[in-house]
Amino acid sequence: MKETLIIDTIHVSLVIPAYNEQEAIISVINEYYPYVDEIIVVDDGSSDETYVRAITHADAKVKVFQHTTNQGKVGALRTGVQHASGDIIIFTDADCTYPACYVPEMVHILEEGLADLVLGARIIERENIPFFNRIGNTIFSSLAGYISGKVVLDAQTGYRALFKKMMPMLDVTARSLEFETKMTVRAAKLGYRIAEIPIVYRERVGVSKLHPIRDGIHMFRGLVSIAWNETSPLGKMILSPSITLIIIGLLFGIYSLHERFTVHDLNHAYFPVIAIFLILLGIQTFSFALLIDYLSKKMDRIENRIIALNENEKRR
């Protein structure tokens, strides 16, 4: 008999994408069961017994869906959100790495209007994250913060909560792990408030499906695309020449290195200086473009809130 500690006042749905997680899926369902009103498990075309084991725990609260073919984590998340009935959606992984005890705090932050997106930042017991993944998380979280203009400790975390009505605005084009990072950057660039709570990250159950190099490339491409696509026209006007400056600077630098290692001398001694100058100028201009974009998005959000407040006053 499962004990229920359902959070009052608001309906909470948990979405669990699962692919070949037969060893952990039951433990995850049982752990989160007391904390939410609804659990949506989406088996993403697993070749093991993930679906079979999950369906044995289906009841009025636990709903299990299955993809006949693997659509990737993002496809599973979207299926889960589509079938979720809650006001708040919580994402977690099916490998027992994210403790359920943080759900009440996540819901409280959203319910009190303290943030629009809550992230479970994996900063406690980080040794359970593989070494290369820790390095990647630090690098990409720093890049995400640089692009969005907001300090983010863990942009890649799969443990997050948001209101379901926000999902259409924060749903980004992605197939794999870059989804979380791109969602975080989009939320920041659109002016949404992001809160992070420190969480314990436990050792995963089962075999990891992460591929540091492949997923790192996808993550970098995702950040580049979101940086460009989510930037305002004014920001893009400044970004374009900054990127051009960086490219030209890199070309000068590459030519200088070519001379140094082939001719063993620099026929153009001033090329390295030009390279450094252009790259630094390009980076500064790039940063200025992101700052302009951040401020313009922030002003738009403030304007929208003022308009909403005025409309509410008129209705009274």
Confidence (pLDDT) at 215: 75
**Residue 18 belongs to some domain of the structure:** yes
Three-class SS of residue 266?
A: coil
Q: Are strands 62-67 and 160-163 parallel, antiparallel or unpaired?
A: unpaired
Q: Within this chain, do residues 190 and 252 fall inside the same structural domain, yes or no?
A: no
**Residue 3 belongs to some domain of the structure:** no
Please tell me what DSSP assigns to residue 37: S
Query: What's the CA angle centered on 298, arms 295 and 300, to 5 degrees?
Result: 110
Confidence (pLDDT) at 7: 45
Residue 141 to residues 185, 193, 230, 250: CA-CA distances in angstroms? 10, 17, 17, 25
Neighbours of 239 (CB within 10 A): 21
**Residue 5 belongs to some domain of the structure:** no
Q: Within this chain, do residues 34 and 105 fall inside the same structural domain, yes or no?
A: yes
Confidence (pLDDT) at 238: 85
Residue 187: burial class (beta carbons within 10 Å; 0-12, 13-18, 19+)? buried
Q: Cα separation of 35 and 38, whole Å?
A: 9
Q: Within this chain, do residues 43 and 80 fall inside the same structural domain, yes or no?
A: yes
Q: pLDDT tens digit string along 53-101? A: 999 999 999 999 999 999 999 999 999 999 999 999 999 999 999 999 9
Low-confidence spans in the chain with pLDDT less than 50: 1-7
| pTM higher than 0.85 | no
**Residue 216 belongs to some domain of the structure:** yes
Confidence (pLDDT) at 119: 97
Confidence (pLDDT) at 6: 46
Q: Within this chain, do residues 194 and 245 fall inside the same structural domain, yes or no?
A: no
Confidence (pLDDT) at 18: 96
Q: Within this chain, do residues 130 and 256 fall inside the same structural domain, yes or no?
A: no
Task: Tell me the two tokens of residue 204.
Answer: 């995963």
Supply the DSSP string of 97-114, one letter for each residue: -S-GGGHHHHHHHHHTTS
Q: Within this chain, do residues 253 and 265 fall inside the same structural domain, yes or no?
A: yes
Summary count for the chain: helices (H), strands (E): 10, 7
Phi, psi at 163, each rounded to 5°:
-75, 140
Q: Cα separation of 64 and 199, whole Å?
A: 27
Q: Within this chain, do residues 138 and 46 fall inside the same structural domain, yes or no?
A: yes
**Residue 245 belongs to some domain of the structure:** yes
Q: Cα separation of 295 and 120, whole Å?
A: 26
Q: Cα separation of 313 and 113, whole Å?
A: 20
Q: Cα separation of 48 and 22, whole Å?
A: 7
Q: Within this chain, do residues 62 and 200 fall inside the same structural domain, yes or no?
A: yes
Q: Within this chain, do residues 304 and 222 fall inside the same structural domain, yes or no?
A: no
Domain boundary among 229, 246, 271: 229
Confidence (pLDDT) at 162: 96
Number of domains in the chain: 2
Q: Within this chain, do residues 153 and 110 fall inside the same structural domain, yes or no?
A: yes
Domain boundary among 229, 258, 293: 229
Confidence (pLDDT) at 206: 78
Q: Within this chain, do residues 129 and 265 fall inside the same structural domain, yes or no?
A: no
Q: Within this chain, do residues 238 and 100 fall inside the same structural domain, yes or no?
A: no
Domain boundary among 209, 229, 249: 229
Q: Which CATH number is 203's domain given? A: 3.90.550.10
Confidence (pLDDT) at 316: 67
**Residue 97 belongs to some domain of the structure:** yes
**Residue 21 belongs to some domain of the structure:** yes
Decide: 83 and 25 in contact? Cβ < 8 Å. no
**Residue 104 belongs to some domain of the structure:** yes
Range of the domain at 105: 12-229
